[in-house]
Amino acid sequence: MGLQCCLGGTALHTLKLAAIPSSSTSSSSSSSCRFVFGPLSRAFTSRFLSRHNRSQRPPFLLPLRALSVSAAPPTKTSPDEKVAKPQWKAAIDFKWITDNKDAVAANVRNRNSNANLELVLELYEKMLDLQKEVERLRKERNAVANKMKGKLEPSERQKLIEEGKNLKEELLSLEEDLQQEAQCIPNITHPDVPIGGEECAITRKTVGSPCKFSFPVKDHLQLGKELDLFDFDAASEVSGSKFYYLKNEAVMLEMALVNWTLSQVIKNGFTPLTTPELVRSSVVEKCGFQPRGDNTQVYSIEGSDQCLIGTAEIPVGGIHMDSILSESSLPLKYVAFSHCFRTEAGAAGTATRGLYRVHQFSKVEMFILCRPDESDFYHEELIRIEEDLFSSLGLHYKTLDMASGDLGAPAYRKYDIEAWMPGLERFGEISSASNCTDYQSRRLGIRYRPSEPSGATPKKGKSNLAPPQFVHTLNATACAVPRMIVCLLENYQQENGCVIIPEPLRPFMGGLELIAPKSR
C-alpha cells in the first residue's frame, strides 16, 4: 500500500482552471488519500535495495487523479479596475474597537499593520448616524400613514419611499466600506508578546546541541545529488523554478514522515483528515490571508473564485463555517494532511535554495476549535506536541515567542520552532503554533452554545438557551516535509556519504536504517 494523492498546477502565479473529466468520477473515488500506519514490509525493502544496487529505478506506484488539459478561457481584468469589496461580513465588534481605540491604535502600530483605524472609526460614526436617520424616516412614514389612514397622496408616498430607498442604499455602501477597512485591523496581541520586529523574539527553550562532524559538512543539495534523491533540473523544465522531484529513498522518507507524524498526533486525540486543496477565495480571506495582491502567497485560479491552499489550516477552518456547535463537542481537534502551494513572492538568495523554500510541498497540520477560556491551554499543548516530535527525531532546536511585528493578522500569539541545519550553518524555521482567538471564527461564523442556560428570566415565547459565543481557533505545523528532509539529511550525514535514518522512522521505511550511495 502507498500514499495515493492528487497533484496538479503550474508554475504561473495565475493558474488555468482544469476540468475533471466525467470519466474520472469512479476512479477518483477509489483514489482518495490513504495513509499507511503500519510499517512497510522488509520484503519490500529488500526488493527495493536489491533493485537499487543494480542501478535500476524502483517502481513506486503512486496513482494520480487524472486532470484534462482543457482549460477555461482567461478573463481579462482592466488595470484600472478597483479592488472588489468583500462579499461577506465579519462579526467585528465595532463598539469594542471604539471604546478601546487607544489600545487598538497601539496594537496596529506594534504589528506594523497598514490598517487605517481613524477611517474605520469615522465610517462607523457615519454608519450609526445614517442608521438613526433611516429609523427616523421609517417612524415618520408610519406616523404620516397612520394619520392619513392610508389616504396618503401617491406623490407624497413615492417621495417617502424614494428617500428611504436612497438612505438604505447609502447605508449599504457605507457598511461595505466599513467592512473592507475594518477587516484590515489585526487581532489583539497577548500581553506577554515582545514588542518589535523578528529580532525581538524571545527564546523559550533550547533543546540539544549542534552535531559535531570530523569531516567537511555537506548541505542537503549536495547530499541529495550524491544519493540520487532529488531532481531540481527536470522539475524546473517541467514546472519552473522552486519545484522538485523526490526520488528513491527520499520518496519513502516523505511517506514515513507523514505517516509517523499522523500516528503520533492521533495519540493526542486528534481526528485525521485529508482536505480539499482548492477552496473559495472568500474562505481564504476569512482565515486571514490575502488571495490577491502584489505580494500574495496564494495561487488563484483564473476565471473562478477558487485558490490553491497554502496550508490545510484554510480548508479545516472552513469545515464548521456558519455553524453553531454544542459546548459538549468542544474541543474539536483535527490533524490534516495536504499538499500546499505558495508563490513565495519576494523570496530569493542562498538561504532559500533547494528544498528550504519551494512552491509545492506536503504538510501535516494540527487545528483546534475550543472555548475561549481554553485557547491558551491548547496553545501550550500544540507546542508541546511539536517539541515532542522533533525531540524524538533527535533534532537540535529552539522554541521562540515571536515578536509583535512578526505576527500575521490572525495571530494573538505565535510560537516558532527553528532547527539547526548544519549544511546551511544556521537555524531554520520548521514549525509554528498560533492562537488566533476569535479572529477567524468571527469571519467564518463559527460559534458554540454554552450548556449553562441564561440566568435571565426568558421573555414570553422565548427559550432560556444561552446566547452562542465565538469559538477560538488554533493551528500548528506538525510536519512540513521538505524542511524536515533538509534537517534529517544534514544532521544525520556520515563521513562515508551515507545518511542514517532516525529510529522512529525506520518501521515506516520497512526497517531501512540508512541511505547509502548508489553502486555504479
Q: What is the amino acid identity at position 245?
A: Y
Give dist(CA 470, CA 462) in Å, integer.
Answer: 22
Residues 6+ apart with CB under 8 A from 123: 174, 177, 178, 181
Q: How far does CA 151 lie from the centroid of its chain?
A: 60
169 is in an annotated binding site: no
Q: How far does CA 25 lie from the centroid of its chain?
A: 28
Q: What is the amino acid identity at position 438?
A: D
Extract the C-alpha cell encoding 342: 505558495
429 is in an annotated binding site: yes
CB-based contact 324:470 (threshold 8 Å): no
Give dist(CA 153, CA 147) in Å, integer.
Answer: 12
Residues 6+ apart with CB under 8 A from 191: none
311 is in an annotated binding site: yes
Q: Around Cβ 223, how many Cβ atoms within 10 Å?
A: 24
So which residues are the catalytic ones? Answer: 342, 357, 429, 432, 483
Strand positions, DSSP E, 220-317: 230-231, 245-246, 271-274, 278-280, 300-302, 306-308
3-state secondary structure 25-71: HHHHHHCCCCCCCCCCCHHHHHHHHHHHHCCCCCCCCCCECCCCCCE
The torsion of the CA quartet 195, 196, 199, 201, rounded to 10 degrees, works out to: 20
57 is in an annotated binding site: no
360 is in an annotated binding site: yes
Per DSSP, the three-state class of 105 is helix
359 is in an annotated binding site: yes
Residues 6+ apart with CB under 8 A from 46: none
Give dist(CA 185, CA 118) in Å, integer.
Answer: 11
496 is in an annotated binding site: no
The residues pairing with 302 across neighbouring beta strands, listed in sequence order, are 16
Extract the C-alpha cell encoding 518: 548508489
CB-based contact 298:284 (threshold 8 Å): yes
Q: Which residue has the cell 518501521?
A: 507
475 is in an annotated binding site: yes
Q: How long a stretch of residues is the chain?
A: 520
- Region at 9 (left for phi over 0; alpha for psi -120 to 50; beta for the rest): left
Query: Can you say which residues are annotated as belonging to the binding site for ATP?
Result: 342-344, 358-361, 429-432
Query: Can you say which residues are annotated as belonging to the binding site?
Result: 311, 342-344, 358-361, 365, 429-432, 475
Query: Can you say which residues are annotated as belonging to the binding site for L-serine?
Result: 311, 342, 365, 475
